[in-house]
Chains A and B, each alone.
Chain A
Amino acid sequence: MSGNAEMPAYDLSTSALRDLNAKLHALPSNTNETHWTVVNPGGKHALACGLDKPITVEIGGHVGYYCAGMNELATVIVNGNAGVGVAENMMSGTVHVKGDASQAAGATGRGGLLVIDGNASARCGISMKGIDIVVKGSIGPMSAFMAQSGNLVVLGDAGEALGDSIYEARLFVRGNVASLGTDCTAKEMGPDDRAVLAEVLARADLAGVSTDDFKLYGSARRLYHFHVDNVDSY
């Protein structure tokens, strides 16, 4: 087997998306076809979903729903905008959206890094479970709803009801937060939090961004247990 990486190219205006995904799924772990280029995505859904090999897929254009969903080990780069649920339930690897992302970016993600150069709309990081999400622009309302673990780093602003019903997870926001959701609260940023933020920024090639400019939000932990004073509410 030659040591040279091969770079297959795929044109979605002339070839079927299902064939592309099947080819990507069939790659062996030691494949030499490590850098795939996809052109003319045309907003198609479920592009490069369920990858589980350490390859790079670079997409030239806007993608539809669930791009790079369930990603494991792979690096997926979108040179455009992403539709609903980009990198949803990502396990590991990296997904980089160079434009904006629609709703529910990184939803339920368990690991890996999602970087969005533009803005992400509503419900970014909903139910996140370990993923790190970096949004260079702003995020929409109801982001990090029921977030469980992981880090959400936002260089711009956050919309309403940030972190509603949050279990755990760190939410770092540099700009304004329109409002905090139930049981989400501003927290003192300790040295550990600062180290985590610096590490996530560095992985997103943002080592030059100062951690001093961020505020940390997280769980007030008041919803963890039933409170007897609320018994009349039920």
Chain B
Amino acid sequence: MCGIAGLYLKNDKLHSELGSLLSQMLVVLTDRGPDSTGFAIYGSGSPKDGKVTLRAEDHGRLKAAVAAVEKQFGAVRPVYRSSHAVISISPEMIPALQAFVAAQADGAEIVGHGARMEIYKEVGLPAKVSERFGLARMTGTHAIGHTRMATESAVTTRGAHPFSTGPDQCLVHNGSLSNHNALRRELKRNGIAFATDNDSEVAAGYLSWCMQEGATLKQALTRGLSDLDGFYTFVVGTESGFAVLRDPIACKPAVMAETDDYVAFGSEYRALAVLPGIEAARVFEPEPARVYVWER
């Protein structure tokens, strides 16, 4: 099943409410995904200062991993939130950091990096996970969240969405892909790294690869219509963009609302009902096989 909530703000005055609104939307979607919850939030930051979200099974391992990183790379100004830490490191050091964490940091992993994106995900109900990370107090320009009901793989944090396979890029998925194994092999040959065997991560990797090759977000998703086989409703975030794509049969639900202040996505209208000014919003269902992109 799974639930998706996305919010892309057009009015700067709402930036301070981003986390609070997303958190309310996710809680409504508990029925669709009680197993795990995750979200990506695009907050403060600049391209000069790289931002990396690290995750570990427990706080001890997380602190040890950050200490090891600081020993190797110097001060990274960690901000801890429960099982996650956001560290600052110059963007050109990211590949070295990725290699270091993969090889050295016992029990810790990188869940995302970029100029502004932070990713948090954990097993548990949306209300608990939101509370744990303090989502309601987070601010920013746009955010994407996911509540997972695991149907094809185990209930683990690693299987939780969003998946990030490129800088400031993230994807959440409701559905299942049928050609992910073949596509994963192909993408690996092209240098895209995967952390899990999850089908949704392959979709994320595919889009990252297309964009790495020069495609815009819109072009990447349009190509995805031919190359990704299966059922999907995707919501994708980049540093400046927010996109939605449904498979040609539109198996998985999607409702959107747009006002002068925001564009919002919900798996069900109920999740949008918490938003300010929703009564006057243009509420519509994204059409199958049509790429929707909003860019700042």
Query: A residues engaging B (CB < 8 A)?
Result: 42-45, 61-62, 64-65, 81, 83-84, 99-100, 102-103, 121-122, 140-142
B285 at the interface (CB under 8 A from A): yes
Given contacts A64-B269, A83-B269, A121-B250, contact A102 B288 (CB under 8 A): no
Q: 8 closest A-B pairs (Cβ-Cβ)? A: A43-B269, A43-B270, A42-B273, A121-B285, A43-B273, A62-B269, A122-B250, A81-B283
Chain B residues within an 8 Å CB radius of A45: 268, 270
Q: Do residues B284 and A100 form an inter-chain contact, with CB atoms below 8 A?
A: yes
Q: Tell me the bound Cα distance from A108 to B255 in angstroms.
A: 23
- Could you list 27 A-B pairs, sorted by A, with CB under 8 Å? A42-B273, A43-B268, A43-B271, A43-B272, A43-B273, A44-B270, A45-B270, A61-B279, A62-B273, A62-B283, A64-B268, A64-B269, A65-B268, A81-B269, A83-B253, A83-B269, A84-B253, A99-B283, A100-B285, A102-B255, A102-B285, A103-B253, A121-B285, A121-B287, A122-B249, A140-B250, A141-B288
Chain B contacts with A in 245-286, Cβ cutoff 8 A:
249-250, 253, 255, 268-273, 279, 283-285
Provide the B191-229 mask, 1 if CB < 8 A to any CB of A, else 0. 000000000000000000000000000000000000000
- B residues contacting the other copy or chain, number (CB 8 A): 16
Inter-chain CB contacts under 8 Å: number: 48
Q: Whose C-beta in chain B lies nearest to the C-beta of A99?
A: B283
**Chain A residues near B268 (CB-CB < 8 A):** 43, 45, 64-65, 83
Measured CA separation A141–B270 after assembly (Å): 24
Give the nearest-CB partner of A80 in chain B. Answer: B283
Residue on A nearest B31 in the bound complex, by CB: A45
| Shortest distance between the CB of A77 and any CB in chain B (Å) | 18
Task: Please indicate the chain B residues that have their CB under 8 angstroms from the CB of A122 in the complex.
Answer: 249-250, 288
Assembly CA distance A100 to B253 (angstroms): 15
The CA-CA distance from A64 to B287 in the complex, in Å, is 18
Task: Please give, as numbers and ranges, the residues of chain A lying within 8 Å of B269 by CB-CB distance.
Answer: 43, 62, 64, 81, 83
Bound CA–CA A50/B250 (angstroms): 27
Closest B residue to A44 by CB, please name it: B270
Chain B residues, Cβ within 8 Å of A140? 250, 287-288
Q: Judging by beta carbons under 8 Å apart, are A102 and B273 in contact? A: no
State which of A44, A99, A102, A142 has its C-beta within 8 Å of the C-beta of B253: A102
B269, B270, B285, most chain A CB atoms within 10 A: B269
Instruction: List the B side residues contacting A44 at CB < 8 Å.
Output: 270
Residue numbers in B under 8 Å from A142 (CB-CB): 249
Q: Of residues B249, B268, B284, B287, which shows the largest number of chain A Cβ atoms within 10 Å of its Cβ? A: B268
User: Which chain B residue has the least Cβ–Cβ distance from A121?
Assistant: B285
Complex Cα gap A62–B272 (Å) = 11
Which residues from chain A contact B253 at a C-beta distance below 8 Å? 83-84, 102-103
Chain B residues within an 8 Å CB radius of A43 = 268-273
Contact A103:B272 (CB < 8 A) given known A122-B288, A141-B288 = no
Complex: how many Å from CA A65 to CA B269?
A: 9
Complex Cα–Cα for A42 and B279 (A): 10
- Docked Cα-Cα span, A44 to B287, in Å, equals 22
Chain B hits for A100, CB < 8 A: 283-285
Name the contact of A64 in the complex, choosing from B250, B270, B279 (C-beta under 8 A).
Answer: B270
In the complex, what residues of B have CB within 8 A of residue A141's CB?
Answer: 250, 288
Closest to A82 in B: B269
A65 to B31, CA, bound (A): 13
* A60 CB, nearest partner CB in chain B, Å: 10
Q: How far is the CB of A7 from chain B (nearest CB, A)?
A: 23
Bound Cα distance A64, B249 (Å): 21
**Residues in A neighbouring B271, C-beta threshold 8 A:** 43
Residue ID in chain A nearest B253 by CB atoms: A84
Chain A residues within 8 Å of B255, by CB: 83, 102
- Contact A103-B250, Cβ < 8 Å, known A43-B272, A64-B269: yes
Closest A residue, CB atoms, query B286: A121
Alpha-carbon gap, A142 to B270, bound state (A): 26
